[in-house]
């Protein structure tokens, strides 16, 4: 066995720092190792065997990390539920995944009770929830040693999708020994060039029910790094934790960049971010100007990747950004990117088409949705419906999700391009651009703007913002109208739910994409 992977590191260096909880409580590798072992024993004693499913409804916490590791060595699928969902929505995940057990936090007790309802599954609570056993019952009297017949488990997250119910992304279990799987689990950090086994500290800025977030947590632990947990993200709290814990890496989304850059200069100057070496971002297009501002503040530590819950991907290093601003980079060593037309013919460099990804021999299927699985795969490649193009050097540029593309008079208009312009206006805190019905053209461009505090929200301001767009964009791309929305609907990491802004305009009408 090698020297990397959580299990090997914990056995060799049990006193190494593993987790800093949201209240700054510290847990070592040895303590986390023993807890994950007890949990694996406890879950098996409750009847969960290889291929079975454990669901969680947990905030970022040592318990969430320990359960991730426990399932990863007990051959279980882990389904981390979005704790902002209703009881009925979480109940759907429990039923669809076939979960045999659920662990929930008392903060989400009412939703957990409703979700579990009369389902035949074991129930455990961190804290107190009526009808749930206490979480310590899973580990009480269980041995701290490795369980017998260990085999690697897998994460099974649910995609939000654009229509219908969420779909679970389910990969075949590998059958690997967890020590070996742990070594492979350093892959993401090796892609980014993050050193192994040093004094690395990874800041967890978003809920672990997000695929990328959970994958970065386990990559950090398998690489010998400590993870610092956040609960509710704010720019000030993030910067304070970077300063306090000398954070070296983190995973972000562009919305976080925008909100940090809106802080007053004096507030930014309070925090020392010089420890940062890798600020990795993805999940949404990042305007070039925004990234330049972050590089000016944090230095050349900004890395961008392209991936999805289904897999990935590409990477743009800081050097790539200087050479190819706006690109999400070139494929990972195990990946291949193709851009095609609707008949799966390869597009020439510079021509926009559907982006497809191949991850070597890796596969997945959408749980209980063979039709969606079939539509998403072609000749060993899969797609999540993004539009983009490759340049002559093989760098990928994303345009938008195909479902978000605005088609006006037969011309494709990409909202991300317009949003990147509006976000540079000093009166715009955030924005979302989408298509609304137009009887002549099919669709027209609408911009929803979350204004900075104290700015105007009248017709004159709307006209000023449209004129601002015309300075950088062709007239046909510019918004025809602007709505001012005080508070955008957002997910827990701040990403805007664009559909909630767009859908009211399409009530009673079909939008063909």
Q: Is 94 exposed, middle or buried, given 0-12, 13-18 or 19+ CB atoms closer than 10 A?
A: buried
Query: Tell me, what's the pLDDT at 163?
Result: 47
Q: Where are the domain boundaries for CATH 3.30.300.30 in the chain? A: 408-506
So what's the pLDDT on residue 318? 97
- pTM given for the model: 0.85
Query: Boundaries of CATH 2.30.38.10 in the chain?
Result: 333-404
- Tell me which of 221-225, 263-267, 412-416 is least confident: 412-416
CATH topology of domain 333-404: Luciferase; domain 3 (2.30.38)
Query: Could you give the strand order of the β-sheet that contains 442-451, starting from the edge strand earlier in sequence?
Result: 428-438, 442-451, 481-484
Please give the pLDDT value at position 448: 95
Write the CB contacts of 407 (distance below 8 Å, at least 6 apart in sequence). Answer: 413, 435, 442, 443, 513
Distance in angstroms (rounded) separating the CA atoms of residues 185 and 5 = 7
Of the candidates 414, 413, 423, the residue with the CA atom closest to the CA atom of residue 468: 423
Q: CATH for 408-506?
A: 3.30.300.30
Each residue's pLDDT tens digit, 352-403: 999 999 988 778 888 888 888 888 889 988 898 888 999 999 999 988 777 7
Expressed in angstroms, the distance from the first to the final Cα of the chain is: 51
Q: How confident is the model at residue 492 (pLDDT cuts 50, 70, 90)?
A: low
Q: Among 80-94, 186-200, 316-330, 494-508, which is the least confidently predicted range?
A: 494-508
CATH 3.40.50.980 domain span(s) along the chain = 29-175
Q: What is the mean pLDDT of the chain?
A: 92
- By CB atoms closer than 10 A (0-12, 13-18, 19+), residue 16 is middle
Phi-psi group of 133: left, alpha or beta (phi > 0 → left; psi -120 to 50 → alpha; rest → beta): beta
Give residue-wise pLDDT tens across range 205-244. Answer: 999 998 889 999 999 999 999 999 999 999 999 999 999 9
Mean pLDDT of the 8-34 span: 98
3-state SS class at 463: helix
Least confident of 25-34, 206-215, 282-291, 348-357: 282-291
Residue 512: band (very low, low, confident or very high) from pLDDT cuts 50, 70, 90: low
Closest CA relative to residue 339, chosen from 303, 363, 306:
306
**For residue 120, pLDDT beyond 50:** yes
pLDDT in tens, 54-113: 999 999 999 999 999 999 999 999 999 999 889 999 999 999 999 999 999 999 999 999
Average pLDDT over residues 435-453: 90
Tell me how far apart the alpha carbons of residues 1 and 5 are, in angstroms, rounded to a whole number. 10
Percent of the chain with pLDDT over 70: 97
Per-residue pLDDT, 160: 63
Q: Which of 155-169, 266-280, 381-395, 404-418 has the highest mean pLDDT?
A: 266-280
What fold does the segment set 29-175 form as a domain?
Rossmann fold (3.40.50)
CA 388 to CA 83: how far, in whole Å? Answer: 33
The pLDDT score that the predictor gives to residue 162 is 44
Residue 283 scores a pLDDT above 90: no
Q: Which of 220, 144, 154 is nearest to 181 (CA)?
A: 154
């Amino acid at each position: 066995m090698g020297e990397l992977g959580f299990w090997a590191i914990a056995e060799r260096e049990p006193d190494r720092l593993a987790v800093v909880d949201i209240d700054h409580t510290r847990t070592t590798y040895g303590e986390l190792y023993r807890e994950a072992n007890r949990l694996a024993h406890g879950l098996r004693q409750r009847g969960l065997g290889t291929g079975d499913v454990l669901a969680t409804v947990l905030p970022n916490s040592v318990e969430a990390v320990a359960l991730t590791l426990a399932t990863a060595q007990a051959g279980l699928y882990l389904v981390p539920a979005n704790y902002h969902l209703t009881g009925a929505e979480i109940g759907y995940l429990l039923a669809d995944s076939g979960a045999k057990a659920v662990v929930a936090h008392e903060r989400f007790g009412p939703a957990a009770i409703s979700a579990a309802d009369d389902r035949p599954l074991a129930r455990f609570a961190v804290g107190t929830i009526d009808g749930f056993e206490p979480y310590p019952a899973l580990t009480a009297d269980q041995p701290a040693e490795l369980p017998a017949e260990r085999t690697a488990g897998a994460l099974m997250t649910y995609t939000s999708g654009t229509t219908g119910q969420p779909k679970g992304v389910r990969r075949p279990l590998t059958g690997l020994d967890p020590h070996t799987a742990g070594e492979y689990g350093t892959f993401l950090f090796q892609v980014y060039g993050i050193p192994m086994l040093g004094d690395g500290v990874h800041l967890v800025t978003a809920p672990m029910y997000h695929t990328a977030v959970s994958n970065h947590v386990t990559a950090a632990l398998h690489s010998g790094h400590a993870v610092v947990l956040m609960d509710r993200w704010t720019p000030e709290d993030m910067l304070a934790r970077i300063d306090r814990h000398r954070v070296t890496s983190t995973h972000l989304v562009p919305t976080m960049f925008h909100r940090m850059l809106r802080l007053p200069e004096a507030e930014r100057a309070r925090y020392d971010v010089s420890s940062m070496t890798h600020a990795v971002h993805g999940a949404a297009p990042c305007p070039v100007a925004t990234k330049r501002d972050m590089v000016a503040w944090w230095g050349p530590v900004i890395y961008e990747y392209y991936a999805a819950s289904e897999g990935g991907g590409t990477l743009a290093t800081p050097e790539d950004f200087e050479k190819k601003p706006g690109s999400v980079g070139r494929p990972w060593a195990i990946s291949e990117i193709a851009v095609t037309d609707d008949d799966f013919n390869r597009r020439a460099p510079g021509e926009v088409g559907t982006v497809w990804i191949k991850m070597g021999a890796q596969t997945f299927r959408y749980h209980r949705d063979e039709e969606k699985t079939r539509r998403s795969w072609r000749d060993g490649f899969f797609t999540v419906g993004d539009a983009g193009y490759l340049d002559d050097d093989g760098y990928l540029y994303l345009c938008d999700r195909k479902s978000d593309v605005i088609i006006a008079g037969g011309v494709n208009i990409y909202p991300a391009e317009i949003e990147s312009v509006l976000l540079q206006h000093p009166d715009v805190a955030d924005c979302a651009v989408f298509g609304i019905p137009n009887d002549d053209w099919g669709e027209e461009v609408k911009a929803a703007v979350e204004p900075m505090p104290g700015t105007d929200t009248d017709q004159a301001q709307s006209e000023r913002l449209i004129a601002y767009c015309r300075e950088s964009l062709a007239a046909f791309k510019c918004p025809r109208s602007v709505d001012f929305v005080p508070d955008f609907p957002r997910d827990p990491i701040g990403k805007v739910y664009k559909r909630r802004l767009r859908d009211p305009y399409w009530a009673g009408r079909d939008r063909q994409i």
